[in-house]
Amino acid sequence: MDAVETFPKRSQSKWMPVRRKRARQSKNLEPCSIAERADPAPALAPPRVDVTASRSIGRRILDRAARSGGFRIGALLLAGLVLAAALYPELSGIDPAMRDIRARLLPPLFLGDKWSWAHPLGTDQIGRDMLVRCLVGLRYSLLIGVASVAVTVVIGCALGTVAGYFGGRTDTVIMRITDAQLSIPMIILAIAVLGADRPTIPAIILVLGLSNWPVYARVMRSVVMAERGREYVRAAQVSGATHPRILLTLLVPLLVPPLLFTSVLDVARMMIFESTLGFLGLGVQPPTPTFGSIIADGRKYLLNAWWIATMPGVFLCLTLTSINLIGAAFERARNSIHGGA
Amino acid sequence: MDPVLSVRDLSVALTLPGRERTILDAIGFDVAPREIVGVVGASGAGKTVLSRAVVNWIAAPLAIRSGHVSFRGTDLLGLPPRAMRRLRRDIAYVGADPMGALDPTLPVGRQIVEKLRAVMPDVSRREAQARVIALLDAVRIPSATARFHDYPSQFSGGMMQRALIVDAMVSNPALLVADNVTQPLDVTVAAQVIRLMRELTERFETAILFVSSSLPVAREAASRTLVIDQGRLVEEQPTEALIAAPRHAYTRELVAQIPVIWGERPSLPAVPRAAGARPTDAIISLRDVSQTYRVKRRGSFAATSDLRAVRNVTFDIVKGDSFAVVGESGCGKSTLMRLLSRLERPSAGQVLCEGRDIARLSGAELLGFRRKLQLVLQDPFNSLPPRTGIGAMLEAPLRIHGWRDPRKIRERVRAVMDDVGLPVALYDELPLGLSAGQRQRINVARAMVLEPEILLMDETLSALDQTEQFKLLALFEKLQRAHGLTYIYISHDLAMVRKACNRIAVMYLGEVVELADNERLFFDPGHPYTRALLSAMPALEARRFRPEDCLMEGEPPSPIDLPQGCAFRSRCPQAFEACLHHPPFLTVRGARDLAACHRVPGAGAALLAGAA
């Protein structure tokens, strides 16, 4: 878009120079900036010039995150789960769909009196091994959760950024589409799309991804609108940067990371949604096991074989905890580096 | 007479986990009733903390370490909150941020009534309203009864500051703490506010602690001045004596740094050009440039009005000039800056750079123009992307302009950082915790990295205190000499302009009303508005223009419905018949200076020619 079309829009609100002065003024009203101002050049060269000073900021954040205990626990847990999900079903040679009527409803290790080493997490009502079924289910859950959040974030952030940055008609059109999308309940959309055709994994990812992006679009739009009027954006324009460059090199790197940290929580939500779809029979179809279908099947045996319905939940819980631990460690590291520690 | 406020041995420290820093160190002074005491110091000296300590408004992470603040004999610092609340009617505080201090969702009058009833519950609502309206009238808010019901967004910055003074004065306080109240205001409005404060001390017997970062401003207001340097009270004298004979080294330095306006010629910026000969090749020319915005009309659904932000501006900027555009808020100088830097294209007229219309440039040609003209922005906190390393910030313009070799880029950036006096160790650091002056150096470096020929300074120095300004001006001079730069300063600070620029355009309501060389403008201004600006300018020396003769009341009319005839006539002390009907044109005075006023000799001829 052209400079002329975009700028008078902004200048309507900007032409009163008093506002800019206020921005400068507000600095000395917050207690923390009194501290900052109290020392003419607080953290200049001396305190921080050590080895870390020569490393890039991204690297420093990574290092700081990696030093925290939460990150290590989360990373170990996640790595273990991912490795197990990737390797164990093949290595063990157990077919998750193989029935064994003689070994049906075996409890997990050391529980009850019939447990066996062959089935560490027990078996279900037709003798299928729970560990393998859960790990295969985890594969799909993780795949669908991460991929659908990626779809959500990409679509939402792209549309929100464009709407917020350019404003005007672009903004109106994009935000009305967002409103339209928001008005369709996710589960109805899922039933409509997945019920019309055989639910495949890409279709599930798309449905989950498409149902959730408006939230991201709105958040992104509002932060971009706040940032685009800032002076450093103007400085970039004057140095000749094109709009895509400003968006991609200046605004997106600044604004997307905080959003990514919250989107980690959405991975959890999506995995739960996937289970919901599986429970409704609209998820990945049997015989492929998923968390949702395992729970749906195990529900009838809840009283005498609680482990069937519980095990997927345990795996879900472990995975989500590990992801959240990692996300939180990153968030803290980023905040402390950018907060001047 | 007993002092109304007496501060003894006051120390305040900033406590952060693991460390503690002293902000105020054993401060002691008295304020007598009806006295205005100025407090002056650089930013970061602890002035704001002091003014808050005086009103017992110190919160974590700040902590009082020792001392007393006694108000009429009561020690405020030990007072329980309840008793303190009762005392708030006698101690008032006005801050520097009028926009932030008023609730945008409530009418201004109602907020003040609420405050009054909070400190004096026995006043009835009706009574309170009458009192607020009377005071709004006293601070010269036009049609106070109607304005009482207006929202803060309908007030201008100056009016809001005056409303806040009403807010502070409404309970007839015995002590008013004014923390940098004039800083966000234009000079003419600031002069009005200071005059208002002096009147108030006489009418309401209020003592005022007038905190300011500028010594000339404090001189306008205060009869006695305290100088604070790094938390220590270094000097206390009657203001005139302080300026005439500063005792402490820091005060001497402070006084020496205030630019001299009308005294001996301050050294003109060294413009590298052949002695005597003045080149006439304009590097930037504006030809009849106008910019009109459409704004939504208030109270209507889709109707728009034309806001004429810049009207028919014509001037040339010669290579090597230090050109200044001065004027107050809303005069169109920011719009002019956007036009000059081609962030916007004018709705009429042309901006020529070396003879080419910059509105028509695109692609590689536009990039070439960008390389030639760079912008240094105003706000040191807003103008740097908060989460980008300083090196990366400075590399970005180079990458935009097609530099690819990372080693060369790094070399260039290091060279520029060295040039503007930034330690190269900051290369991989974030701009966190840097002082405003250091941040402004990054801003300059970002502009300089492309080796431009023209630097456009958009209020670059206005956020800095005197000492920082002084250093940066020296840097600008050095850079100009080394690289043959042309500067365009957009500013409201006449003292800085006097020191740094050789040619000056004065803008009022979107028009250039006077265009003159530095010397002529300050000694023999041709337009009454310029005279008003000069008379309102805070300075340490005797003024050539007395505010009583030149200073105007009120505020500029709205650029949406411009008055007929001369735009300045509503505030002009010398307006006469012709001003009512005919807009004045820029008229030549002397060799190369111009002013747009009917009072300029020869303007009549132009008027006749215009009428014919």
Residue A180's pLDDT is what?
92
B316 in the same domain as B201: no
The minimal CB distance from A15 to the residues B307, B375, B432 is found for B307
Q: Please state the rounded mean pLDDT for residues B560-566.
A: 81
Please give the single-letter amino acid code of residue B443: N
Residue B267's pLDDT is what?
55
Structure tokens at B296: 């939504």
What CATH number did the domain enclosing B475 receive? Answer: 3.40.50.300
User: Rounded to whole angstroms, how far apart are CA atoms A5 and B156?
Assistant: 28
B301 in the same domain as B442: yes
Question: Is B353 a domain residue?
Answer: yes
Q: How many CA atoms lie within 13 Å of A233's alpha carbon, on the beta-carbon side?
A: 20
Domains annotated on chain A, with CATH: 69-338 (1.10.3720.10)
B477 in the same domain as B364: yes
B72 in the same domain as B133: yes
Residue A162's pLDDT is what?
94
Residue A5: other Cβ atoms inside 10 A: 13
B489 in the same domain as B389: yes
Residue B293's pLDDT is what?
87
pLDDT band at B468 (very low <50, low <70, confident <90, very high): confident
- Contact residues for A91 (Cβ-Cβ < 8 A; gap 6+): none
- Contact residues for A60 (Cβ-Cβ < 8 A; gap 6+): A52, A337
Q: Which residues of B touch A53 (CB under 8 A)?
A: 425, 428-429
Better pLDDT: B476 or B279: B476
Q: Which of the residue ranges B168-177, B295-304, B441-450 would you say has the lowest mean pLDDT?
A: B295-304
The DSSP code for B301 is: S
Q: At what angle do helices B466-483 and B406-420 cross, to 10 degrees?
A: 120
B35 in the same domain as B100: yes
B248 in the same domain as B139: yes
The whole-model pTM stands at: 0.76
Rg over alpha carbons for chain B, rounded to the nearest Å, is 26
The minimal CB distance from A43 to the residues B48, B61, B433 is found for B433
Question: Is B332 a domain residue?
Answer: yes
Distances (CA, A) of B100 to A222, B10, B210, B555: 21, 28, 20, 21
User: Rounded to whole angstroms, how far apart are CA atoms B42 and A127?
Assistant: 80
CA dihedral A195, A201, A206, A209 (to 10 degrees): 110
Given a cut of 90, whether residue B437 has pLDDT beyond it is no
Q: Please state the rounded mean pLDDT for residues A133-148.
A: 89
Backbone angles phi, psi at B164, to 5 degrees: -70, -35
pLDDT band at A58 (very low <50, low <70, confident <90, very high): confident
pLDDT band at A16 (very low <50, low <70, confident <90, very high): very low
Residue B268's pLDDT is what?
54
Residue in A152, A304, A62, A230 with CA at minimum distance from that of residue B385: A230
B288 in the same domain as B253: no
CA distance, residue A250 to nearest chain B CA (Å): 8
- Contact residues for B354 (Cβ-Cβ < 8 A; gap 6+): B283
Better pLDDT: B470 or B227: B227
Whether B104 contacts chain A with CB within 8 A: no
β-pairing, B322-326 with B503-508?
parallel
Residue ending a domain, among B241, B257, B273, is B257
Residue in B358, B325, B367 with CA at minimum distance from that of residue B457: B325
pLDDT digits over B533-554, tens only? Answer: 888 888 887 777 877 777 666 6
Q: Please state the rounded mean pLDDT for residues A13-17.
A: 39
Q: How many domains does chain B have?
A: 2
- Are the C-beta atoms of A93 and A118 separated by less than 8 Å? no
CA-nearest residue to A20 within chain B is B379
Full residue range of the structural domain in which residue B438 is found:
282-522
pLDDT band at A119 (very low <50, low <70, confident <90, very high): confident
- Are the C-beta atoms of B135 and B88 separated by less than 8 Å? no
pLDDT digits over B246-276, tens only? Answer: 999 999 888 888 877 776 655 554 454 444 4
Whether A231 contacts chain B with CB within 8 A: yes
pLDDT digits over B327-355, tens only? Answer: 887 788 888 988 998 888 999 999 998 88
CA distance, residue A244 to nearest chain B CA (Å): 12
Whether A3 contacts chain B with CB within 8 A: yes
Residue A96 preceded by cis peptide, ω within 30: no
pLDDT digits over A181-234, tens only? Answer: 989 888 888 888 888 878 888 988 998 888 889 989 999 999 999 888 888 898
User: Rounded to whole angstroms, how far apart are CA atoms B302 and B294?
Assistant: 11
Q: Please state the rounded mean pLDDT for residues B211-230.
A: 89
The minimal CB distance from B330 to the residues A16, A25, A239 is found for A16
Question: Is B80 a domain residue?
Answer: yes
B319 in the same domain as B212: no
Q: Which residues of A touch B231 (CB under 8 A)?
A: 38
pLDDT digits over B159-209, tens only? Answer: 888 888 888 888 888 999 998 888 777 787 788 788 888 888 888 888 999
Across chain B, what does the average pLDDT equal? 84
Structure tokens at A4: 């002329």
Number of CB pairs < 8 Å for A and B? 210
Residue A14's pLDDT is what?
37
B11 in the same domain as B108: yes
CA distance, residue B611 to nearest chain A CA (Å): 33
pLDDT digits over A96-115, tens only? Answer: 777 777 777 778 877 777 77
pLDDT band at B612 (very low <50, low <70, confident <90, very high): very low
CA distance, residue B14 to nearest chain A CA (Å): 7
Residue A159's pLDDT is what?
94
Q: Which residues of A touch B394 (CB under 8 A)?
A: none
Whether B62 contacts chain A with CB within 8 A: yes
Q: Please state the rounded mean pLDDT for residues B76-93.
A: 86
CA A249 to mean position of chain CA atoms? 22
User: Rounded to whole angstroms, how far apart are CA atoms B552 and B569?
Assistant: 10
Residue B277's pLDDT is what?
46
User: Rounded to whole angstroms, how far apart are CA atoms B353 and A171?
Assistant: 34
Residues of B numbered 504-563 whose beta carbons fall under 8 angstroms of chain A's beta carbons: which are they?
none
Given a cut of 90, whether residue A163 has pLDDT beyond it is yes
Residues of A numbered 29-88 whose beta carbons fall under 8 angstroms of chain B's beta carbons: which are they?
29, 31-32, 34-45, 48-49, 53-57
Given a cut of 70, whether residue A40 has pLDDT beyond it is no
The minimal CB distance from B387 to the residues A32, A239, A254 is found for A254
CA distance, residue B238 to nearest chain A CA (Å): 26
User: Rounded to whole angstroms, how far apart are CA atoms A165 and A171?
Assistant: 8
The minimal CB distance from A240 to the residues B294, B334, B370 is found for B370
Across chain A, what does the average pLDDT equal? 78
Question: Is B366 a domain residue?
Answer: yes
B287 in the same domain as B233: no
Question: Is B546 a domain residue?
Answer: no
B286 in the same domain as B251: no
CA distance, residue B138 to nearest chain A CA (Å): 24
Question: Is B356 a domain residue?
Answer: yes
Residues of B numbered 446-475 whose beta carbons fall under 8 angstroms of chain A's beta carbons: which are they?
446-447, 450, 463
Rg over alpha carbons for chain A, rounded to the nearest Å, is 26
Percent of chain B with pLDDT over 70: 94
pLDDT band at A152 (very low <50, low <70, confident <90, very high): very high
Question: Is B604 a domain residue?
Answer: no
Given a cut of 80, whether residue B46 has pLDDT beyond it is yes
Question: Is B552 a domain residue?
Answer: no
